[in-house]
Amino acid sequence: YFDIVISNCVINLSTDKAKVIADVKRLLKPGGEFFFSDVYADRRIPASLAKDPVLYGECLSGALYWNDFINLSKRCGFADPRLVESRPLTIENPTIEKTLGNIRFYSATYRLFNIDSLEPACEDYGQAVVYKGTLKNSPNAFALDDHHFIEAGKVFPVCGNTWLMLEKSRFATHFDFIGNFNTHYGIFEGCGLNVPFAQANSTDATGSCC
């Protein structure tokens, strides 16, 4: 079993992406990581284009719709995929660009952790971490993903999933951990989710039950 599996732009060429991702999870140690870059689309590729050998050779027609990739990763056991970095891809060939129409493509790097106790959303347990600055080539800060830039020596509040990604992975010795999972405070602020119900100060609240 492996601590980390790295891939660079080959999953889009696979005809059975679910098997690739599931097999990687099977090969990882608990706390291990799948760190990889690939091409993604902003929508599902039509079947007619997916069978185009030229587009396939350009690593375009095999690209997953980004949200299908997120859901596929979760079904394969990677509960909280983390986007590390991304950029739009430009199509330099006018003929290919015309064939693709309005489909947009992106190069993106993800890290998926093999941690079974990760939750589907970022939950708040009042936890924090302090980065020691001890990772090679990262003495001043550590970037876990595109929204966790953790400066050395500074107390950094985190959700339960981020805590586990650091505490149960090869990064554990490089952090001090503050708090535990004893008290739950709801969704972690800024994770993209909010309480869906009407609030007490809402102008639409009627105060009635049922």
The pLDDT tens digits for 111-153 are 999 999 999 999 999 999 999 999 999 999 999 999 999 999 9
Among 118, 64, 67, 109, smallest CA distance to 84 is for: 109
Q: What is the pLDDT of residues 62-83, one digit of tens each?
A: 999 999 999 999 999 999 999 9
**Residues 163, 201: Cα–Cα separation, whole Å:** 33
Calculate ∠ Cα 98-43-70, nearest 5°: 145
Q: pLDDT-derived band of residue 206, with 50, 70 and 90 as boundaries?
A: very low
CB 49 within 8 A of CB 78: no
Q: Say yes or no to pLDDT of 199 above 80.
A: no
- Examine the pLDDT at 20 and tell me if it is beyond 90: yes
pLDDT score of 24:
97
CATH 3.40.50.150 segments of the chain: 2-113
b/e per residue, 151-164, with b = 16+ CB within 10 A?
ebeeebbbbbbbbb
Q: Looking at residues 34-50, what average pLDDT do you find? A: 96
168 contact partners, CB below 8 Å, separation of at least 6: 30, 31, 113, 115
**Does residue 155 have a pLDDT over 90?**
yes
What's the whole-number average pLDDT of the chain? 93
201 pLDDT band, cuts 50/70/90, is: low
| Superfamily covering domain 2-113 | Vaccinia Virus protein VP39 (3.40.50.150)
| Model pLDDT for residues 45-57, shown as the tens digit of each residue | 999 999 999 999 9
Mean pLDDT of 26-52: 96
- The Cα 118–Cα 71 span in angstroms is 15
The reply to whether CATH 3.20.190.10 applies to domain 127-178 is: no
The ranges of the chain annotated as CATH 3.40.5.100 are 127-178
